[in-house]
Structure 1
């Protein structure tokens, strides 16, 4: 499934979803900034009744992420944790990985170099 949900400039955020071993894998691409936070929130927050929410976010195609994206990921992590699930980040590259490390998000949300490792850990 591919979508560009709710953004003023849909070319800025792409979304693909699939399930692997009962775990939701969401592949994001483009830029994650203030303009796409509402769409991102709708994508990464656990769905009502998802029991337990287990999600891997593949950030391999994300080229930019600012603090508004970090805030959404923290909220999604907390919501998943509250529902006895989890959120993991996979494949963050270059500047996006640097932001994640600078703010210490990798100490809060498990970050793995590959989707396969995120699924297995």
Structure 2
């Protein structure tokens, strides 16, 4: 019984460390994330990005409220980018800040995946001056 309680507690902790809110606007899927993307929460992020069977999937990931992202998050983003572009769609990132933005820049993800300063820019695909 104690083992089951521990498993339930860990699941609850994982959910508290990453919140994903999925919405749709103008045929685009918008995932608004908050908290942390790491080894423990990467699967939840991966599942949220799984749009298998969706024709020309267009996805914006709003990172404004993400405080931390490690290589697990980077791997999820790269895999999703490949899958979405392979299906004729795209992936855009909106509003990464602080350590998350720095991580994206250090590994060069910002040169592979379209990154925007805010959600409006990501939704339109244009830079606002």
Q: TM-score, normalised by structure 2?
A: 0.85
Alpha-carbon distance in structure 1 between the residues aligned to 2:85 and 2:77? 12
Confirm or deny: 8 A CA contact 1:7 1:39 kept in the other structure: no
1:8 deviates by 4.9
- In the TM superposition, what is the alpha-carbon distance from 1:63 to its structure 2 partner? 0.3
CA RMSD of aligned residues (A): 1.2
Alpha-carbon shift at residue 87 of structure 1 (Å): 0.4
Is the helix fraction higher in 1 or 2? Answer: 2
Structure 1 residue 22: Cα displacement: 1.1
Aligned to 1:3: none
Asked if residue 24 in structure 1 is aligned to residue 26 in structure 2, the reply is no
1: CA distance, partners of 2:97 / 2:121: 15
Among 9, 16, 22, the residue aligned to 2:14 = 9
List 4+ stretches of structure 1 deviating above 2 A. Answer: 6-9
1:57-84 Cα distance to aligned partner (Å, 9 max, x none): 0001100000111000000000001001
Gaps of 5+ in 1: 1-5
What's the TM-score once normalised by structure 1's chain length? 0.91
Q: Is the 8 A contact 2:64 2:94 kept in 1?
A: yes
Q: Which has the larger radius of gyration?
A: 2
**Equivalent residue, structure 2, for 1:70:** 74
Structure 2: 5+ residue stretches without partners: 1-10
Mapped pair 1:42 → 2:47: yes
